[in-house]
Amino acid sequence: MKLDFATDHAGGGAADLVQTHAVRGEADRLVDVLLCGPSHLETVPCCSVTRESMRNGFVVAQDEAQRQHAALRQVLERHGVRCHAMPATPELPDLCFTRDAGVMTPWGFVALKPAMAHRSVEVDHLVRTLSAIGVRPVRRITEGTIEGGDVCVARPGLLVLGLSGERTSTAGAEAFAASFVQQGWDVLYCSFDPHFLHLDTMFCMLDANTALACTDVLDDGFLAALAARDITLIPVSYKEARRLGCNVVSLDGRTILMNAAAPQAAERVRAAGFLVEELDVSQFAACGGGLHCLTLPLRRLPARG
Ligand SMILES: NC(=[NH2+])NCCC[C@H](N)C(=O)O
């Protein structure tokens, strides 16, 4: 497979702009992020959490969803994060979960290949939106399927990929991983049942050596592989993870945005010395996504550097 990250980045013009956008680790300092407002958010019965909400009669309360999303944006901006907006559109009801259609890597933006039909059509919309701010894909995945919620660029040298077989397939994950392998990165695969949707509902990095994890659910081999890499886990219960309580955003390896509906997880993260900002994201959680899903980091800078 030919990977031309290096050549794509050589030279001037747009390539220089692309080069300034990169994510080398989930806990580096977040500088630029892509958000999309929930004007067209709707329940789509494509994941277990949303199906449960629908059984319970949940319908999106537009005003409340807008308020919660505006509060997220305010917190990000208060922490100095530049928020870019993707226009919402009626035919894309899950678009506010900007995490899933693409991923920023150390070598530039990679357009993904979502499994769900209504999500796969988000990719072109995302690519157009990013082009307008000078970010063009260095690669587009064409093999298998892969969604951004299953991608964790954990820290420089370590990539973690979720494999449910439903949203992300082995072919998609391996195609995405190829460029990292080529650059000498260690790649860990985490297999789980499609019930759990994406890796980021059960595993999110807090700093380079600490992650929040639904340890009761995660595969023992995966937990052992994390331990072997000196990653300490702060456990989250299944019930809080199902409320998207494990689905968090590390702003800088120190300040963590967390779902207010998971107070035990927040308490443990605080006890471990992190600063926690709790946010109400109940409208989104009912649709299967939390804070991590609502944010697509475009640029993170190493804490010291
Ligand atoms: N990164 C995530 N966990 N995203 C959650 C997406 C939720 C959305 N309803 C879906 O099923 O596609």
Centre of ligand 1 to C-alpha 304, Å, is 32
pLDDT score for 298: 98
**Locate tokens 């692309």: which residue?**
18
- With vertex at residue 117, the alpha carbon angle to CA 60 and CA 69, rounded to the nearest 5 degrees, is 30
Tell me the C-alpha distance between 82 and 170, whole Å: 34
- Residue among 51, 99, 100 whose CB has most ligand 1 atoms within 8 A, to mutate: 100
Query: What global pTM score does this model have?
Result: 0.93
Centroid of ligand 1 to alpha carbon of 293 (angstroms): 7
Q: Which of 201, 285, 280, 269 is nearest to 241 (CA)?
A: 201
Buried b (16+ CB within 10 A) or exposed e, 54-81: eeeeeebeeeebeebbeebbebbeeeeb
Identify the pLDDT of residue 273: 98
Token representation of residue 87: 């226009």
- For the segment 151-175, what is each residue's pLDDT rounded down to a tens digit? 999 999 999 999 999 999 999 999 9
95-136 residue pLDDT tens: 999 999 999 999 999 999 999 999 999 999 999 999 999 999
Q: pLDDT per residue over 257-271, tens digit each?
A: 999 999 999 999 999
Give the span between the Cα atoms of 24 and 178, in whole angstroms.
Answer: 16
Q: What percent of the chain clears pLDDT 70, i.e. is strictly above it?
A: 93
Distance from C-alpha of 193 to C-alpha of 205, rounded to nearest angstrom:
21
Query: 203 near 213, Cβ under 8 Å?
Result: yes
The highest-level CATH class for domain 21-300 is: alpha beta
Alpha carbon distance 291, 83 (integer Å): 14
Confidence of residue 20 (pLDDT cuts 50, 70, 90): confident
Count other Cβ atoms within 10 Å, centred on residue 133.
Answer: 12
Using the structure block, give the residue that is written with the tokens 């909400």.
53
User: Distances from the Cα of 254 to the Cαs of 71, 178, 239, 251, 274, in angstroms?
Assistant: 20, 30, 25, 7, 5
Q: Which of 293, 295, 296 to mutate to test the pocket of ligand 1 (most atoms within 8 A of CB)?
A: 293
**Ligand 1 mean position to 289 CA, how many Å?**
5
Task: Indicate which atom in ligand 1 lies nearest the CA of residue 198.
Answer: 3
If you average pLDDT over residues 31-44, what whole number do you get?
Answer: 98
pLDDT digits (tens, 9 = 90+) for 204-254: 999 999 999 999 999 999 999 999 999 999 999 999 999 999 999 999 999
Structural domain boundaries in the chain:
21-300
- What's residue 304's pLDDT? 56
CB 157 within 8 A of CB 130: no
Residue 235's DSSP bridge partners are: 213
Ligand 1 is surrounded, with C-beta below 6 A, by 44, 46-47, 50, 94, 97, 99-100, 116, 119, 149, 197-198, 200-201, 287-289, 293
Give residue 207 CA to ligand 1 midpoint distance, Å.
23
Q: Which is higher by pLDDT, 6 or 29?
A: 29
pLDDT digits 0-9 by tens, 74-95: 999 999 999 999 999 999 999 9
Q: What percent of the chain has pLDDT over 90?
A: 92
Q: How far apart are CA 215 and CA 202, in angstroms?
A: 8
C-alpha 116/C-alpha 283 separation (Å) is 21
Tell me the three state secondary structure of residue 206: strand
8 pLDDT exceeds 50? no
